[in-house]
Structures are given as structure tokens and as C-alpha cells.
Amino acid sequence: MFAGQGAQVVGMGKDLADAHPSAWQWFERANTALGYDLATVCFQGPESELTRTENAQPGIFLVSWVAFELLKERLPAFEFQATAGLSLGEFTALTAAGALSFEDGLRLVRQRGRFMQEACDVTGGAMAAIIGLDEAPTREVCAQAGVVLANLNCPGQLVISGGAEQIARACELAKARGARRALPLPVAGAYHSPLMASAQAKLAAELGGIPIQAPAVPVISNVTAQPHQAPDSIRARLVEQVTSSVRWEESVRYLLRQGFSRFIELGPGTALSGFLKRIDKNAQVLNVADVPSLEATVRALA
């Protein structure tokens, strides 16, 4: 499982690069591919620079990829049977499954971040987390306030997206309906809502120039909560994903129904591990975000 935007933190990946020369090589490859020093932005910030969408997205992709590569390096017999990622993490998941090259995946999320930032700049949207309210009443709140359900993360944690004034109204309505909390999120705009539509044509053009292979293992789509299909379908779903809801809980439940019982979160933060524990407390959850978590996961898998 690969982290999504919001997981970024200044210093991410630095201890991995300091401890493992092979990790540092990936940071250098990324700097070369992008033509600027993304490694220093990840390691030193400042936070205002790292949280810019066009830096946060490739930064999280890169640190997640380094975590994935180091896990494979430390455990030569390591095998995985499926991948999934939250929003931008879906691009990392496709890259891990061989559908995209590392450089193409990295450049793609950098451009995706730029296109989404441009959409944010002209629409002035917002997002909020709705805690402790079920999906059906949250959908009713969304319809009443004129916003949309952006992320269905796990039981009791949903994210809504739309115009800033409408989101403020939706938060009040959600609390009146019994939500424990309705928290505005510190994001640049209304991701996974119709306000991102202007980014779709630009992303489609970018995807059209990039070779995509059939994934070597199933990669779960945020849009359908089912495995991706042929390369042209992958392109279409990735464009659709910009304005569609992220069906994360359904994606995990699909994998659980297929018999998966061990999940490894790769990249900064442990948000996906937290969601998984809320979805199925019996699933084994490991993560690789830094040197201590890498060592703990290696021990658990060895």
C-alpha cells in the first residue's frame, strides 16, 4: 500500500538515504529526471515548499519508492501479489507493479501535482474530514450543502470536498447530524471533486505520451475498487480519478475477500495502516517509512 498526499513531512527519506547508498542513488535519479533538487526539499524543506502540491506528490512517490526498493533489497526472496495506493499512491502502486517506469511515474505525478495546483488556484475549494458519521447521512449532508464525498477511507472516517463556503456549511450540518468531529483540512483546494476538472485534460495529454504496460500483479483502482485492466483503461481511470471519490475502504475489502491477510504500507506516515486496522483488526499491518520501521518489517517478514 502506497501513501497519498498529506503524508509528507520535512525530513522524510533522509535517514534511509543516510543509511543505504542504494537509497541515495534513487534520490539522485529523481533529481536528474525532474531537473531540480527534490531530495533537498524532502530532507530539509522548508515545509511551505514541501507542501506545495507539485513537490509533495513527487516527494511522497519518491520516498515510497525508496521504501519499496529497500525492502526488496533487504529481503531478496520478497514477493507481493497485489498493490494499491491512495490517490497519488495509485501511481506508485502502478509503478511497483511494472505498469510505469520509475522516471515516467515520477514525472507524471510532478505534472499531476502542477495541474491540480493550477485548478486549486482558480477554484478556491476546501476539504474536511467527517469523523463518526456513516456514509449514508454524510451523502445527505453533501447533497444538502452542494459538496461531494471525496474519500471513503474507513468506517467512521470520510472526507468531503467542494467550495470553501459550502464545506463550512457541510461541517455544521454534519455536526448537527451527529458527527463527532468535522475538521477542515490544511489542503490547497477541493481534491477529488468537480472543481479539479480543469486538470483532467492536461493529465490525459500527459498520459497519452507515456508508455504503460499491463501490471504484473493486480493494482486496485481508486475509482472502481477493482483491479486495473488494459493500459488504455488505466489511462482513463487515472484521468477519472482526479474528480472521482477515492473508494479506499472498498478497495481494501476487495483485497480481503481475495484472501489477503498481510499488508505493508510504504512511504511516509502510517495513515493507511490506521485505516486498515479500522477496516479489519485481524489483518497483519507492517510499514516502511524510515530505518526503524524498515528493520522491524524485515524482522517480521524474515
Active site residues: 87, 192
Best CA proximity match to 193, nearest among 119, 249, 134: 119
Phi–psi pair at 159, nearest 5 degrees: -125, 135
8 Å CB contact between 43 and 266: no
183: helix, strand or coil: strand
**Residue at 253: amino acid letter:** R
* DSSP count for the chain of H helices, then E strands: 14, 6
**Nine-digit cell string for 278:** 479500522
Q: Are strands 148-154 and 157-163 parallel, antiparallel or unpaired?
A: antiparallel
**Nine-digit cell string for 233:** 483503461
Cα separation of 100 and 82, whole Å? 15
**Block residue for cell numbers 506528490:** 57
Distances (CA, A) of 271 to 117, 169, 248, 286, 298: 23, 27, 12, 12, 20
Cα separation of 102 and 226, whole Å? 23
Cα separation of 283 and 286, whole Å? 10
278: helix, strand or coil: helix
